[in-house]
């Protein structure tokens, strides 16, 4: 069995495609060696040894030791040194590296092989005693920390008290004698604390380090990280052992990191930092301020320290040659580590670099323009969810943040404004042209107008799928939810966190992308929708097969969605129009009416308002399909809550408030979501559906008159369980259409279809499709009714389900393919068996979730419909599903 893979000197036993076996670091070191790049020779002990290690009581395969010894000899030959030799010692680094890079794994140990003897040899050979002892003390520190569990700070303490005693301020003030003396103290401390002398035998050191890497695979931090990122335990880690090169050999030596393109902007320019006379992690550790690599960058940063380009021109030119080659080879932006030893450049790592969403777009588009990747590759390279970052204003990254509290990043983007604690206040101030942040303990449907008026929403209670979170995402407004450390006092009009108190009118900023609440107003950066974004979305649309519509209730939503490329409205929830502050009273009059006549009187007042809403929507959508859903929510949600509200309605209706309060009690429900809602409203009170149908048809006639374009009208009946329900409601819609046609003399084209959101509707889809001309899967309700879980109450236990692995992911966020998805499939099949031309779509939160969109593509839906700000995400996700 092969347990060791060597690399170095222009060739390697491994290669990039063996990543699963060699880990990312090892596979790329091998690849670079094969490309003939200067890589210090070394070898990789593959992940298969890690698997063996855990399957066999933490022991190694018996051939391993011999193979490691052989590989050490091989490195020795290439470097003309010998591991453990007293006169000419080979020193190595030991580095962990799995398939995916993973914090929590053992840190790298550098300079392994040094001991009291070999340090003298290193001093002799380098002619630099200070360098030798500096390397030795680094080794003792790192090895003790990561292998022996004797923490770093012990050494820092020894060093600091020594510096105090001598009156030194910088590490560079220490002489070789000082380091030599400190090395002695370091070793004493280790012996004293661990009860054993610091290991002097290089082979013991090496096996100690190898064992520590494999053991770290199971440490608590690594286990947690894997669980959070879905990395299987079976992957294991690899160990890389590599000949040392020294960046700390004086002024002609250095160490650094570089990106082939700028990871925050994507600009195609080498970007990075380096430090002269330093080793390994000094650059990231921030001990000294690193220097710029290119002269351009130095000029821009205004640094007075020379760039690598001027300080080490030969090494810089070599780096330029190599990074250009690496990027062409990997066809992606690379993140590289390098070291210069006495003027010679060595490559120590390369990998695809992490980048911001903005940089990812620019890089993908430019790589395609440069011909390195195809347009489809570019489309596949962007994580659809990451687009969210680009569509909202964000806080200027250079601004200083005064974070006062942290909650959940419920809806991305940032906003500043004056604090208001009620939705009415929000509406009032907004009307005066002021910008406000609505702060509530939690929100309910009655806060819709306040949420619309606010720049952003902050709640102290509720999770990522709370009312505030869902509605804010739908509106594309930033929201921080569940900020439990904040105490809101509505009475006083204050909110307090720890010792700080903010009152109505104080300005705060919320950053919904990270969940922060900040004091004061922050400078913002506006999103950029043209440029690379537009180009990439164009490429995505060219391959996409699934349509993308929007869930839009207001003209504002519709306009935003058109800007983002929506191809129609898949769901217009008419109830959101009902919740508007000025209308809710009339709605209450309507539902609290005791007889049909009273109800018709209230409905007559609502008719012109609804009609006006629809006219505007139709005009904006210019002939694109618009699906309007009849009133759906439980009447319960519209009931007045407070005495004041009851009295207000009573006044308007000219009745006794007590009578009204009784009626409200009568209508209140224990289980509103399974109660008097959906088509049940249209069946019990046909005049509601009639009014809505009239408003819709009259608006369509009006809009067509104004724009000269026919409206793509689709009327949708919610919460159907039986065909008989649908037939009844459809008959009244059709009757109303005939009436409006007769009255106006206009031609009207429209379709009547249904939501499929109850398991019974799925099962009866074949029958229902005889009458329904389209289906729209309401997977929020379908998930609720399939699982028997109420979304509003699931917060208290869903977390435990996910934590215990019963559910992989919240089924309200990503569709449950196995269960709910199976129902969707059955519904599509049965529906199309009856009516092959049946148009099928999805609305609800899943329509904006990339994984769910891929599923919709697979089952052959005609379109998905999602909230305005998710339209670009859906376009990209649908394109990726088609590729």
Which residues participate in catalysis according to the annotation?
467, 843
Helix (H, G, I), strand (E, B) or coil at 606: helix
Residue 513 is a binding residue for ligand ADP (CB under 6 A): no
Question: Judged by CB under 6 A, which stretch of 57-65, 238-246, 308-316, 748-756 contacts ligand ADP?
Answer: 238-246
Residue 145 is a binding residue for ligand ADP (CB under 6 A): no
Quick one: tokens of 500? Answer: 């700080």
Residue 349 is a binding residue for Mg ion (CB under 5 A): yes
Q: Which of residues 768-787 bind Mg ion (CB under 5 A)?
A: 778, 781
Question: Closest Cα to residue 538, out of 386, 378, 333?
Answer: 378
Residue 339 is a binding residue for ligand ADP (CB under 6 A): yes
* Identity of the residue, 151 or 188, whose beta carbon is nearer to ligand ADP in the bound complex: 151
The minimum distance between CB 528 and ligand ADP, in angstroms, equals 33
Number of residue whose CB is nearest Mg ion: 781
* Identity of the residue, 39 or 693, whose beta carbon is nearer to ligand ADP in the bound complex: 39
Tokens 């208290």 appear where? 796
> Is residue 32 within 8 Å of residue 25, measured between CB atoms?
no
Residue 281 is a binding residue for ligand ADP (CB under 6 A): yes
Residue 248 is a binding residue for ligand ADP (CB under 6 A): no
Among 47, 108, 394, 560, binds ligand ADP (CB under 6 A): 108
Among 95, 467, 544, 846, binds ligand ADP (CB under 6 A): 95
Residue 332 is a binding residue for ligand ADP (CB under 6 A): no
DSSP string, 614-631: HHHHHHHHTTSEEEEEPP
689 HSE (CA, 13 A, CB side): 30
Please list, in sequence order, all residues whose beta carbon lies within 8 angstroms of the beta carbon of residue 258, skipping any fewer than 6 positions away. 270, 271, 272, 273, 274, 293, 319, 323, 335, 336, 338
Among 40, 98, 625, 868, binds ligand ADP (CB under 6 A): 40
Draw the binding track, 284-323, toward ligand ADP (x: CB under 6 A; -: no contact).
----------------------------------------
Q: At what angle do helices 129-146 and 152-166 cross, to 10 degrees?
A: 140
According to DSSP, the β-strands at 712-717 and 625-629 are parallel
Strands (E) across 266-413 are located at 271-276, 291-292, 334-341, 344-352, 394-395, 403-406, 408-411
The minimum distance between CB 857 and ligand ADP, in angstroms, equals 38
What is d(CA 773, CA 796) in angstroms, rounded to the nearest whole number?
A: 39
State the Cα angle at 653 between 648 and 654, rounded to 5°: 95
Tokens 């950053």 appear where? 511
What is d(CA 711, CA 811) in angstroms, rounded to the nearest whole number?
A: 35
Q: What is the CA radius of gyration of the chain?
A: 34
Residue 561 is a binding residue for ligand ADP (CB under 6 A): no
Question: Judged by CB under 5 A, which stretch of 41-49, 355-363, 599-607, 750-758 contacts Mg ion?
Answer: 750-758
State the Cα angle at 713 between 707 and 714, rounded to 5°: 165
What is d(CA 334, CA 317) in angstroms, rounded to the nearest whole number?
A: 17
Identify the H or E element spanning 285. helix 282-285
Question: Judged by CB under 6 A, which stretch of 240-248, 311-319, 363-371, 856-864 contacts ligand ADP?
Answer: 240-248
Strands (E) across 91-135 are located at 92-98, 109-112
The minimum distance between CB 635 and Mg ion, in angstroms, equals 15
778 binds, among Mg ion, ligand ADP, none (CB under 5 to 8 A by kind): Mg ion
244 binds, among Mg ion, ligand ADP, none (CB under 5 to 8 A by kind): ligand ADP
What is d(CA 575, CA 577) in angstroms, rounded to the nearest whole number?
A: 5
State the Cα angle at 593 between 588 and 599, rounded to 5°: 90
781 binds, among ligand ADP, Mg ion, none (CB under 5 to 8 A by kind): Mg ion
Quick one: tokens of 853? Answer: 């969109």
Among 337, 455, 702, 816, binds ligand ADP (CB under 6 A): 337
According to DSSP, the β-strands at 774-778 and 839-843 are parallel
First to last CA, the chain: 39
Q: Which of residues 809-868 bind ligand ADP (CB under 6 A)?
A: none
The minimum distance between CB 123 and ligand ADP, in angstroms, equals 18
Residues binding ligand ADP: number (CB under 6 A): 15
Residue 757 is a binding residue for Mg ion (CB under 5 A): yes
The minimum distance between CB 578 and Mg ion, in angstroms, equals 16
Question: Judged by CB under 6 A, which stretch of 239-247, 444-452, 464-472, 758-766 contacts ligand ADP?
Answer: 239-247
* Identity of the residue, 273 or 402, whose beta carbon is nearer to ligand ADP in the bound complex: 273
Question: Closest Cα to residue 276, out of 300, 306, 242?
Answer: 306
Draw the binding track, 322-341, toward Mg ion (x: CB under 5 A; -: no contact).
---------------x----
* Identity of the residue, 111 or 307, whose beta carbon is nearer to ligand ADP in the bound complex: 111
* Identity of the residue, 778 or 831, whose beta carbon is nearer to Mg ion in the bound complex: 778
The minimum distance between CB 247 and ligand ADP, in angstroms, equals 7
The minimum distance between CB 344 and ligand ADP, in angstroms, equals 12
Among 6, 79, 93, 786, binds ligand ADP (CB under 6 A): 93
Residue 581 is a binding residue for ligand ADP (CB under 6 A): no
* Identity of the residue, 242 or 554, whose beta carbon is nearer to ligand ADP in the bound complex: 242
What is d(CA 664, CA 678) in angstroms, rounded to the nearest whole number?
A: 19
553 binds, among ligand ADP, Mg ion, none (CB under 5 to 8 A by kind): none
* Identity of the residue, 571 or 602, whose beta carbon is nearer to Mg ion in the bound complex: 571
The minimum distance between CB 255 and ligand ADP, in angstroms, equals 6
The minimum distance between CB 58 and Mg ion, in angstroms, equals 26
* Identity of the residue, 348 or 679, whose beta carbon is nearer to ligand ADP in the bound complex: 348
* Identity of the residue, 280 or 476, whose beta carbon is nearer to ligand ADP in the bound complex: 280
What is d(CA 41, CA 29) in angstroms, rounded to the nearest whole number?
A: 9
Residue 666 phi, psi dihedral angles, 5° rounding: -60, -40
Question: Judged by CB under 6 A, which stretch of 243-251, 405-413, 758-766, 767-775 contacts ligand ADP?
Answer: 243-251
Cβ burial of 706 (10 Å; 0-12, 13-18, 19+) is exposed
> Is residue 765 within 8 Å of residue 826, measured between CB atoms?
yes
Residues in the chain: 883
What is d(CA 259, CA 351) in angstroms, rounded to the nearest whole number?
A: 10
The minimum distance between CB 306 and ligand ADP, in angstroms, equals 21
Residue 570 phi, psi dihedral angles, 5° rounding: -90, -20
What is d(CA 110, CA 247) in angstroms, rounded to the nearest whole number?
A: 12
40 binds, among Mg ion, ligand ADP, none (CB under 5 to 8 A by kind): ligand ADP
What is d(CA 614, CA 621) in angstroms, rounded to the nearest whole number?
A: 10
Q: Within a 10 A sphere around the Cβ of 460, how many other Cβ atoms?
A: 21
Residue 280 is a binding residue for ligand ADP (CB under 6 A): yes
Among 110, 395, 472, 815, binds ligand ADP (CB under 6 A): 110
> Is residue 850 within 8 Å of residue 540, measured between CB atoms?
no
* Identity of the residue, 238 or 873, whose beta carbon is nearer to ligand ADP in the bound complex: 238
Residue 242 is a binding residue for ligand ADP (CB under 6 A): yes
* Identity of the residue, 253 or 509, whose beta carbon is nearer to ligand ADP in the bound complex: 253
* Identity of the residue, 418 or 781, whose beta carbon is nearer to Mg ion in the bound complex: 781
Among 49, 244, 603, 878, binds ligand ADP (CB under 6 A): 244
* Identity of the residue, 245 or 322, whose beta carbon is nearer to ligand ADP in the bound complex: 245
- Which residues would be at the binding site for ligand ADP (CB under 6 A)? 40, 93, 95, 108, 110, 242-245, 280-281, 337, 339, 348-349
- Which residues would be at the binding site for Mg ion (CB under 5 A)? 337, 349, 757, 778, 781
């Amino acid at each position: 069995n092969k347990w060791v893979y060597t690399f170095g000197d222009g060739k390697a036993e491994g290669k990039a495609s063996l990543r699963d076996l060699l880990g990312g670091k090892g596979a790329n070191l091998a690849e670079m060696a094969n490309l003939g790049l200067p890589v210090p020779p070394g070898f990789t002990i593959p992940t298969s040894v890690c698997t063996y290690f855990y399957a066999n009581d933490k022991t190694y395969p018996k051939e391993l030791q011999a193979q490691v010894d052989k590989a050490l000899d091989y490195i020795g030959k290439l470097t003309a040194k010998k591991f453990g030799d007293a006169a000419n010692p080979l020193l190595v680094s030991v580095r962990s590296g799995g398939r995916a890079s993973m914090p929590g794994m053992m840190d790298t140990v550098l300079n392994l092989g040094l001991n009291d003897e070999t340090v003298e040899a290193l001093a002799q050979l380098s002619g630099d005693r200070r360098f030798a002892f500096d390397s030795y003390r680094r080794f003792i520190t790192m090895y003790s920390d990561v292998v022996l569990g004797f923490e770093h700070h012990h050494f820092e303490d020894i060093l600091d008290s020594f510096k105090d005693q001598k009156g030194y301020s910088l590490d560079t003030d220490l002489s070789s004698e000082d380091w030599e003396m400190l090395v002695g103290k370091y070793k004493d401390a280790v012996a004293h604390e661990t009860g054993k002398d610091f290991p002097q035998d290089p082979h013991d050191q090496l096996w100690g380090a190898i064992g520590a890497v494999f053991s770290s695979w199971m440490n608590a931090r690594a286990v947690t990280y894997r669980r959070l990122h879905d990395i299987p335990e079976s992957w294991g880690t690899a160990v890389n052992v590599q000949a040392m090169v020294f960046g700390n050999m004086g002024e002609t030596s250095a160490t650094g990191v570089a990106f082939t393109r700028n990871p925050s902007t994507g600009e195609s320019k080498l970007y990075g930092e380096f430090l002269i006379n330093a080793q390994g992690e000094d650059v990231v550790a921030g001990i000294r301020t690193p220097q710029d690599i290119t002269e351009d960058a130095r000029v821009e940063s205004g640094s007075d320290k020379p760039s690598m380009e001027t300080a080490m021109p030969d090494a810089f030119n070599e780096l330029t040659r190599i990074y250009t080659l690496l990027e062409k080879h990997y066809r992606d932006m690379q993140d590289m580590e390098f070291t210069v030893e006495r003027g010679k450049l060595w490559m120590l790592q390369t990998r695809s670099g992490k980048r911001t969403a903005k940089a990812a777009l620019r890089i993908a588009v430019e790589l395609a323009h440069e011909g390195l990747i195809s347009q489809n590759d570019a489309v596949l390279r962007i994580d659809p969810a990451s687009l969210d970052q680009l569509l909202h204003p964000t806080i200027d990254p250079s601004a200083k943040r005064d974070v006062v509290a942290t909650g959940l990043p419920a809806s991305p983007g940032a906003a500043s404004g004056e604090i208001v604690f009620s939705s009415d206040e929000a509406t009032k101030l907004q009307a005066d042209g002021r910008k406000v942040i609505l702060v509530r303990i939690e929100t309910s449907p009655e806060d819709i107008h306040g949420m619309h008026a606010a720049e952003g929403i902050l709640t102290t209670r509720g999770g990522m799928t709370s009312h505030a979170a869902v509605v804010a995402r739908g509106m594309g407004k930033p929201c921080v939810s569940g900020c439990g450390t904040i105490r809101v006092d509505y009475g006083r009009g204050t909110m307090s966190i720890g010792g700080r108190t903010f009152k109505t009118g104080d300005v705060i900023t919320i950053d919904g992308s990270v969940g922060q609440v900040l004091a004061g107003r922050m400078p913002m950066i506006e999103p950029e929708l043209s440029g690379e974004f537009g180009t990439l979305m164009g490429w995505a649309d060219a391959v996409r097969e699934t349509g993308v519509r929007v869930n839009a209730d207001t003209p504002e939503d519709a306009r935003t969605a058109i800007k983002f490329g929506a191809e129609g409205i898949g769901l217009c929830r008419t109830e959101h129009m009902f919740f508007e502050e000025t209308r809710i009273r009339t709605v209450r009059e309507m539902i609290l009416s005791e007889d049909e006549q009273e109800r018709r009187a209230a409905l007559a007042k609502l008719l012109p308002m609804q009609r006006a809403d629809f006219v505007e929507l139709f005009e904006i959508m210019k002939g694109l399909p618009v699906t309007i859903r009849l009133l759906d929510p439980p009447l319960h949600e519209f009931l007045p809550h407070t005495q004041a509200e009851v009295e207000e309605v009573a006044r308007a209706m000219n009745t006794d408030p007590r009578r009204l309060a009784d009626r409200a009690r009568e209508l209140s429900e224990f289980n509103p979501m399974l109660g008097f809602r959906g088509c049940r409203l249209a069946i019990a009170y046909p005049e509601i559906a009639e009014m809505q149908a009239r408003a819709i048809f009259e608006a369509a006639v009006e809009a067509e008159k104004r724009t000269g374009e026919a409206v793509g009208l689709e009327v949708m009946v919610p919460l159907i369980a039986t065909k008989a329900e649908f037939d009844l409601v459809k008959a009244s819609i059709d009757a109303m259409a005939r009436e409006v046609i007769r009255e106006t003399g206009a031609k009207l084209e429209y379709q009547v279809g249904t939501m499929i959101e109850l398991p019974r509707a799925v099962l009866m889809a074949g029958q229902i499709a005889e009458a329904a001309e389209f289906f729209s899967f309401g997977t929020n309700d379908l998930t609720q009714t399939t699982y028997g879980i109420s979304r509003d109450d699931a917060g208290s236990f869903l977390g435990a389900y996910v934590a215990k692995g019963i559910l992989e992911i919240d089924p309200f966020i990503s569709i449950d393919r196995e269960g709910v998805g199976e129902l969707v499939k059955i519904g599509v099949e049965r529906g199309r068996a009856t009516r092959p031309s049946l148009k099928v779509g999805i609305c609800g939160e899943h329509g904006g979730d990339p994984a769910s969109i891929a599923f919709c593509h697979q089952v052959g839906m005609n379109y998905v419909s999602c909230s305005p700000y998710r339209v670009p995400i859906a376009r990209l996700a649908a394109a990726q599903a088609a590729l």
